[in-house]
Structure 1
């Protein structure tokens, strides 16, 4: 057991024990990070009130997606990127968004819980991935609500010829540390407002801190939060009324605008070619961000297994139709190269001789769209916090549900205050990409989680004697079955998915760096494409689980794989600064998780209780002097029962000695001789 090295004795057995113990600790820590949450099929229990029907949830999706951007983004894309083919850009981006929305819809039918992508990642990918997504979703909703609040203030200020801004600067004064001069347009306008070239350059040089405190945005955020805090039905009714009013304005703009149509404006339908269409689609994709709010409402839907999928289809159809009609009408009214840079619809109508009151109607429509978008963000935000707090990953105070309103009122109040402070103090133009990366990461993990769950043996059906359970190779492919017979069902799916994601990321990097234009880049692109296709076909060769659901995504794994590819391609187009900001935000999140969430997680508490109960059960049968012990994974039991302390020490040493051979949950315990 010992030998001497340079005169010092080395205890080999002790080193082996320490190595095994360190390995056991690392394996245990890794298993805690990747543990998944099990939600029984058909579990509709909740502390929230189930009061929303299909119409309510559809309007939540429509209101969250159709904001002021429909009056702004369309003109910007048409003027600078795609021309009249902006209609195609909206159709392409709508189809791409629909792929992600379908994945959300199946998860909403499977697990009708608050939390949206966070809950889905917890069930499909593991706790650490769930925390990453949940932490980013919270930031997404907070910054989105703050940005929309500033946008509302900017539109309202424009209606009064910047009187609000001038009064605030005169009486409240600018922030003392901000020395940047105001541009000639409203300083409150967020990333959705287009400005002229001179003002745009000035805005790009500004810091993250706004020029002056924006009290109007604070007021509108608090006002909207009151409806959200009063209950889901009150918030839904508020959202539905303003969403319908916004749709009426859109129909009016399209109906009146088509009377000015000139089809000669479509003679050069794709002035920038297919590249312009795709570039426009990339920008238009973010006009559809917000459909995840449908899934967030799953825990308050009356019949979520059918309501969520239907509301997803209805809202996506309504929103896509609105975007296509609005863009098509605008492109027929005026040549794309003559479009103004600000207030594009109002300016075009006035230029064509329409009465001036039309600009007021469009401004009202934009304000209504902003309010519905703001309510959508404020509705989703506390429910994401509630889901994480209820699972123990965030502070439990935020998981308390008000007994009267049946809403997470504590989370609503806390994060409304945070949102209002950010809206009052910060200029959010520089954070557009930051919002984008969190959203796309959530979409990507949901698509991956759907593939994993489809091919993972369901806990209720797992039986080694059953041959057609999920995760195994199909019977008609025997040569693969023989090679993968020793692999646990579902593991080959996970490894294949990882390879496919790496291949997709490689393709995205080749495109973003333009390296694919070189001979070596072309060869690498072909190789990665073949690997990607092979991974999808390998996934298809596996048996899906037989879990019966009211709604399932069709063409799995093809549709989720295409969704994953599109999302990863967009992620690779983001700037380095965006990734740096993400890493800073995630560093804060990981600190909270490691200090608080890891130990207070409900899965952690249940895990420790199972180990404690199992250890007590096994150690109660141990006798002094026995050469045989029933050994289980008790190394993580902090405090053994007093009467079994000696036996616990012995069994713990056996666990250390046998290392990775220790038993896991659900396996038959065997006797170990020592």
Structure 2
């Protein structure tokens, strides 16, 4: 009886693991979608710029410059921008591969597996929900400041104050209705709302040019040499500022989210990503430089940095221009979050991991109306009751985890052999010609295998199926990076100023650095597969590995309470996945056929079979059969 119970338990565990690791099977026509493909490259670029340039440039710059980095805020934005660019490169490659809504969720689903895809998707929903709520509160707070605090005082006088941990001091009804109003706008159709977004984004860019131009005209370079110099808070201040400034770049993944509504996603998404990241990075650096050159960082007012800086030079009318820019910027950021959130829910519901009602698309407007309404209501409720300052860091952990897994997925997919039913077939500009079929097959079969001159490595690490060793090395590299930055974060003084009793920490740190470098070297000696991509990340695995390291470093610097809240949020998600998503997943329909195939292969020993010319796709968007 005990043996039967053990066999049943083993079978249950095996079945569960199989379901958690199954990968998304894409249809033959990757461009087919119930949504409307109407967004041009310019529309998507404006969406990305608008989502990133909002409250951050008018609020974040003053706070970081005054309290964290001083004039070196320029370097903080530069470091945060570079970390985001590394992740953006990986998003751009996947955006050209998979023209579907869902961003990092879909990318993870087709490369790593269903469970990790759900984890990323669940965190992306949190990112956009809190992002929308925080910007709605900032929008409300800015309007309240312009009216002299009339709104906040009236609310506090009517409803009193809330004093409970995560709750805000007073409910914010203006933020609540702003969220609902923008959701109402989104239901009219994606093209019309994109015109609205593009107009306000252009207004915001015009204000940034105004601030930068007049700021440099009134610049006093002694503000960068006196008052403690350019780096009054030291290098640690620059890094702390970079971790905070990273929030300003959260939003470029909304570009990838639009993949199912772009006319030519394999071209538009990479181009929009690079243009928007360049414009936003330049804008943040110019505004922060102009601010710290106009006013000594010690005199910056964190709550109204730019208006007060201009007022100190007698340009009081600039307050009106800056206010217009701030409201326009926060409007586009709010729109970006409320654009991305329902499309993330829609993508997960369409795959069966969330409730099917969220996958319904209105035939007239070609947008998921129910999903937009529910997402808008939840975002509005968060904006109404919660203290956004405590939730913003909570949002960052999900974003950083998504960036990390997307970067890892780029490496894994580049070194994966053959193109199977659940793999992503690269989009090509023309079908594979008959004359090149043999070369194409050879390229697919060699991917993930050691290069001929490195076959001797097998005598050291052993022989593995193609692609297994690179994927394992990615995992080891990520864990090693987490350990390295944890040691530097919590044992930094012992590392920088060691004594006789702490030499083991130095040895451990040296060992971990060596392990990370060795794993990268082992990945690099394998053959890649990147044929047919209209855009691909350069210098793989170096660029994605740097992205992984940068994101892990920022995660380690987060508050421990953030990890506790993250655990609670993920617990809710796991309940939904194991109780509903795993059983209702679309991939569940193919489990029986795949199981039969796997059993057949296990009996005949054909796990390592290679492709032949007949396995090639007849069109560039079809899926090959194993």
- Which secondary structure state, in structure 1, belongs to the residue aligned with residue 196 of structure 2? helix
Change (3 A) 1:485 1:524: closer
Q: Match for residue 124 of structure 1?
A: 111
Would the aligned equivalents of 2:480 and 2:516 in 1 still touch at CA under 8 Å? yes
Q: State the distance in 2 between where 1:264 and 1:212 align.
A: 42
Query: 2:261: which partner in 1?
Result: 300
In structure 2, the partner of 1:237 is 195
Instruction: Tell me by how many angstroms 1:484 deviates.
Output: 6.3
Q: Decide whether aligned partners of structure 1 residues 226 and 478 sit closer, same or farther in structure 2, where only a CA change above 3 A counts.
A: same
Tell me, yes or no, if the aligned pair for 2:418 and 2:444 is still in contact at 8 Å.
no
Q: Deviations over 1:570-613 (max 9, x none)?
A: 111112211111111111111111111000000112213555xx
The answer (yes or no) to whether the contact 1:104–1:446 under 8 Å persists in 2 is yes
Aligned equivalent of 1:284? 245
Match of 2:160 among 166, 174, 177: 174
Q: Is the 1:41–1:111 contact (alpha carbons within 8 Å) kept by the matching residues of 2?
A: no
The equivalent residue for 1:524 is 508
Deviation string, structure 1 residues 52-81 (Cα, Å, up to 9, x no partner): 111100111101100111012112222222
2:145 match? 158
8 Å CA contact retained: 2:465, 2:608: no
Partner-residue secondary structure (3-state), 1:407: coil
User: Matches of 1:403 and 1:483 in 2, distance apart?
Assistant: 59
2:538 equivalent to 1:554: yes
Once the two structures are superposed, residues 486-524 of structure 1 have per-residue CA deviations (whole angstroms, 9 ceiling, x without a partner) of 411111122111211111011011011025344322222
5 Å-filtered alignment, 1:349-428, equals 349-354=310-315, 356-428=316-388
Kept in 2, the 8 Å contact 1:536–1:558? The answer is yes
Mean Cα deviation higher: 498-507 or 452-461: 452-461
CA distance in 1, matches of 2:114, 2:12: 18
C-alpha distance after superposition, 1:591-640 (max 9, x if no partner): 111111000000112213555xx59xxxxxxxxxxxxxxx948xxxxxxx
Residue in structure 2 matching 1:430, options 384, 387, 390: 390
TM-score, L = length of structure 1: 0.82
Determine whether 1:32 maps to 2:2. Answer: no
For residues 286-343 of structure 1, what are the alpha-carbon distances to aligned partners after superposition, in whole Å with 9 as ceiling and x for unaligned? Answer: 2111000000001111000010000001000100110111011111112212222320
Counterpart contact for 1:41–1:110, Cα < 8 Å: no
1:139: how far off? 1.3
Contact 2:130 2:392 in 1 (8 A): no
User: In the alignment, which of 159, 182, 186 is matched to residue 228 of structure 1?
Assistant: 186
CA distance in 2, matches of 1:521, 1:610: 48
The 1-side partners of 2:262 and 2:444 are apart by 37
Residues 336 and 546 of structure 1, relative CA distance in 2, 3 Å threshold: closer
Of 564, 571, 574, 1:580 maps to: 564
| Alpha-carbon distance in structure 1 between the residues aligned to 2:441 and 2:28 | 21
Rounded Cα–Cα distance in structure 1 between residues aligned with 2:594 and 2:18: 15
- Is residue 632–residue 664 contact of structure 1 (8 Å, CA) maintained in 2? no
SS in 2 for 1:374: helix
Distance 1:465 1:48, change over 3 A: closer
Q: Please name the residue that 2:216 is paired with.
A: 258
Provide, for residues 15-66 of structure 1, a one-character-per-residue CA deviation record: whole Å limited to 9, x for no partner. 5555444323322211111111133687211111110111100111101100
Query: 3-state SS of the aligned residue for 2:398?
Result: helix
Q: Deviations over 1:331-367 (max 9, x none)?
A: 111221222232011111112222x221122122111
Change (3 A) 1:473 1:41: farther
CA distance in 2 between counterparts of 1:665 and 1:306 reads 38
Partner of 2:287: 326
Equivalences for residues 438-457 of structure 1 within 5 A: 438-457=398-417
Distance 1:27 1:333, change over 3 A: same
CA contact (8 A) 1:468 1:474 kept: no
* Alignment partners' CA distance in 2, 1:136 and 1:390: 17
Distance 2:452 2:594 in 1: 37
Deviation at 1:526, TM superposition (A): 1.2
Alpha-carbon deviation of 1:414? 0.9
Q: Kindly state the Cα deviation for residue 663 of structure 1 after the two structures are TM-superposed.
A: 7.6
Q: Aligned with 2:102: secondary structure?
A: coil
Q: Alpha-carbon deviation of 1:269?
A: 2.0
**CA distance, structure 1, for counterparts of residue 54 and residue 544 of structure 2:** 27
Distance in 2 separating the partners of 1:342 and 1:173: 25
Query: Which is higher, the Rg of structure 1 or of structure 2?
Result: 1
Distance 1:16 1:484 in 2: 36
Q: Residue 174 of structure 1 contacts residue 213 of structure 1 at CA under 8 Å; is this kept in 2? A: no
Offset of residue 442 of structure 1: 0.6
Partner residue of 1:506? 483
Contact map agreement 1:149 1:218 (CA 8 A) in 2: yes
How far did residue 479 of structure 1 move?
A: 0.2
CA contact (8 A) 1:245 1:368 kept: yes
Q: What CA distance in whole angstroms lies between the structure 2 residues aligned with 1:599 and 1:539?
A: 36
Please say if residues 131 and 392 of structure 2, whose CA atoms lie closer than 8 Å, have aligned partners that are also in contact: no
Residues 467 and 44 of structure 1, relative CA distance in 2, 3 Å threshold: closer
CA deviations 1:555-584 (Å, max 9, x no partner) are 000000000001111111112211111111
CA–CA separation in structure 1 for the residues paired with 2:442 and 2:215? 66
- Selected match of 1:475 from 428, 448, 452: 452
Distance 1:233 1:664 in 2: 53
Q: Which residue of 2 aligns with 1:5?
A: none
Distance in 2 of aligned mates of 1:597 and 1:487: 33
- Contact 1:265–1:335 (8 Å) recurs in 2: yes
Tell me the SS of whatever aligns to 2:453. coil
Q: Does 2:563 correspond to 1:563?
A: no
Tell me how far apart the structure 2 counterparts of residues 302 and 18 of structure 1 sit (CA, whole Å). 55
Paired position in structure 1 for 2:615? none
Greater helix content: 2
Return closer, same or farther for 1:118/1:78 CA change in 2, 3 Å cut-off: same
**2-structure distance, mates of 1:426, 1:58:** 31
Of the candidates 486, 489, 495, which is equivalent to residue 466 of structure 2?
489
User: Does the 8 A contact of 1:470 with 1:546 survive in 2?
Assistant: no
Between the aligned partners of 2:586 and 2:460, the Cα distance in structure 1 is: 38
